[in-house]
Chains A and B, each alone.
Chain A
Amino acid sequence: MNRQIFRAAVGASLLNVAVFACAAETSAKSASPTAPQTQGAVGMRIYVDPGTGAMVDRPVTAQHKSAAADDDAQFNQDNSGLRVVTHPDGSISIALEGRFQMATQAHKAEDGSIKYTCEDAEHSAQGEHTHAQPVSVAPIRDVR
């Protein structure tokens, strides 16, 4: 079964309310009827930057990020609320609903070097941002 999924979400952040709309469906995906929450879960979103009014492809405000995570299980690393199914033989199953997806990102630095890092999909969806304090990571490699 094919299913068209492509979501362009627009955050109307000037109103401090993120409005996510299904704008178009352009990417045909074969969906498993048993897994609607993860099929084609990632789509291209656009947001309104409250500072510039420009439309950008990364969530800017906290509301954007929260809504992106709520809207898309793929971006959700929250492990709460997952249903534990206990089978007659005593075994346990938990459908992860598309959470816990790890994502590889490429970042281009000002000097032109490209770094590849792996983090979770939710973090990746937040786009470029800074942390409250310097992140203690191992030496980053440059190409020059």
Chain B
Amino acid sequence: MKSQLRFKLVAFACGAVFAGGAAAATITIINNDGAGEGFNDPTLVAPLPSNPEITLGAQRLSVVRAVANEWGALLRSSVEIKIRVAFNPLTCNGTSAVLGSAGALSAHANFANAPFPNTLYSAALANSLAGTDLRPTGMDNEDINSQYNSSYDSGTCITGVAGWYYSTSRTDATPANRTALFPVVFHEFAHGLGFQTFTSTTTGAFTGGVPDIWTRHLMDATSSQRWIQMTSNAQRVASAISDPNLVWAGGNVRVDKPLYLRSTPKLVVNAPAAIAGLKDAQPASFGPVPPSQGITGDMVLVIDGTAPSQDGCETLINPAALAGKIALIERGFCNFNVKVKRAQLAGAIAAVVYNNVASGLPGMGGIDATVIIPSYGILQADGNAILAQLGGNPVNATLGFDPSSAFAGTTRGFVRMNAPNPIQPGSSVSHFTADTSPDLLMGPAINLNLFNDADLTIPLFRDIGWKVNASPGLYIFAGDFEEF
């Protein structure tokens, strides 16, 4: 195929309009559960702030319908998208549980209006592109299959977890002993809508001998060769474990990444000169990402009055000193979000948690939608260096980014895909890298705080052919498709 690159600047950020496009997609949930179970479970439950239903089944159904409506509002299609959903008793024990799954039920190629010949598209996307339901008689009547773990509500999956939380809004805070279903479904539905490859990552073979749209955008960053151009299955197998060189070459993701990604996070110590410089840091999964210019202030060690008093696990007793400053906190004894929240309540503008072990950064996970200040985790050594200075001149620092670095999670300007060695079937290739900052909806490690943030998934969906409703983006390739 002749190489061709068609740039069409359709609209600038915030407000793209597609002439002649279909309306928001209609996504219909097909309740696949029998009477009295799953979505039809009549067990009475207390209504939630964001979910007024009063039976377990109805609350569950309300969540998946809310997710369907969310995706339906983001995507455009004249063909109804049908998702078959059930609650089933999936694998679980005290330390692990399968929460749920989703995927396309069929794939299609060479249909009318297909952007590329001999290229498989997942059912929902293929129907949308074709403008008609392509599923032939005898094939599954739905586009996507999805299921979620009913056993999770038994309280026997994951010790300490009581079950799902059926909120439909991120403002409805998830209790600490529950897992919000919404963000799990939001992530899984994205797979079913097309965020997946049908190419085997273990053999490199195309399904049915036909490459999929994913293979046209997966690229080895060192050779600039896309998966579809690779002449052997072995090349694709090697590429699938080539982290950090497996990238997404689609134009929309490439162009729109500045809207969603930041440079490598760093704690920038501005003063005193003895310890000034860039310090390795990892942002918390909760709370906001610092603005692009960073957030700057003097650092103050928290004091909670209970030994060890610098861990911030009890109410802080030095709020006057912390107000308007960056709180410095030691890791340990309580959750990260508890520490940061206490700093916030004391008036701090940001928080830095230093590790309590010699190696590594504290990967600050946790869930708390009420945390509104940014926070970073830093090395123990850097924390100790700051502590050593606090008794003298002020330590001034910025929760910022490495100005010389590329966007976190990118290689040569392309967003990386998950390509660990050895292969992690399903996780590899069909997710963005986990190295982005901030976390992305379709990263392999799911950040439930993202809830319904579609972020860079929307540009990727545009790359594979979805028409979308107005969202930030340059829409360089909207309406047409990049060829090579």
Contact = CB atoms under 8 A, between A and B. Distances in A.
Given A139-B361, A142-B363, A103 B101 contact: yes
Contacts of A105: 96-99
Given A42-B147, A101-B145, A103-B98, A57 B91 contact: yes
B133 to A, nearest CB: 11
Interface string B130-152: 00001110111110010100010
B445 A107 contact: no
Given A104-B100, A105-B97, A118-B444, A27 B89 contact: yes
B424 A116 contact: no
Interface string B177-214: 00100001001100100001011101101111110000
A122 to B, nearest CB: 6
A54 interface: no
B60 interface: no
A29 B96 contact: no
Contacts of B106: 93-96
Nearest to B191: A102
B158 A114 contact: yes
Contact of A91 (B100, B111, B333, B422): B111
Interface string A37-60: 011101111000000000001100
Contact of B420 (A34, A93, A136, A142): A136
Interface in B332-355: 332-337
B446 interface: yes
B33 A30 contact: yes
Nearest to A26: B89
A interface residue count range (under 10 / 10 to 19 / 20 to 34 / 35 or more)? 35 or more
A74 to B, nearest CB: 7
B187 A104 contact: yes
A102 B365 contact: no
Contact of B140 (A79, A95, A112, A115): A95
A123 B102 contact: no
Interface string A17-43: 000000000011110101100111011
Interface string B261-287: 000000000000000000000100100
B99 A30 contact: no
Contacts of B243: 136
Contacts, number: 281
B184 A138 contact: no
B69 interface: no
Contacts of A143: 335-337, 365-366
A98 B32 CA distance: 15
A44 B208 CA distance: 31
A15 interface: no
A18 to B, nearest CB: 17
A6 to B, nearest CB: 7
Contacts of B107: 93-94, 96
A93 B89 contact: no
Nearest to A106: B97
Q: Which of B104, B135, B209 has the most CB of A within 10 A?
A: B104
Contacts of A144: 331-336, 366
A28 B425 contact: no
A79 B207 contact: yes
B230 to A, nearest CB: 16
Interface in A114-130: 114-125, 127-128
A42 B93 CA distance: 16
Contacts of A58: 91, 93
A132 B139 CA distance: 39
Given A103-B101, A108-B160, A93 B134 contact: yes
B426 A103 contact: yes
Interface in B39-98: 84, 86, 88-98
B120 interface: yes
B374 to A, nearest CB: 15
Contacts of A45: 91
B465 interface: no
Nearest to B150: A27
A2 to B, nearest CB: 5
A93 B365 contact: no
B210 to A, nearest CB: 6
B36 interface: yes
Given A122-B425, A138-B434, A2 B335 contact: no
Given A28-B37, A142-B363, A123 B94 contact: no
B110 interface: yes
14 contacts: A27-B34, A27-B88, A91-B134, A93-B135, A99-B103, A104-B101, A108-B94, A108-B159, A116-B447, A120-B427, A124-B101, A125-B91, A131-B422, A143-B336
Given A93-B106, A143-B336, A144-B331, 12 more contacts: A38-B145, A80-B200, A84-B208, A91-B114, A92-B109, A94-B106, A102-B188, A105-B96, A106-B157, A106-B179, A108-B159, A142-B363
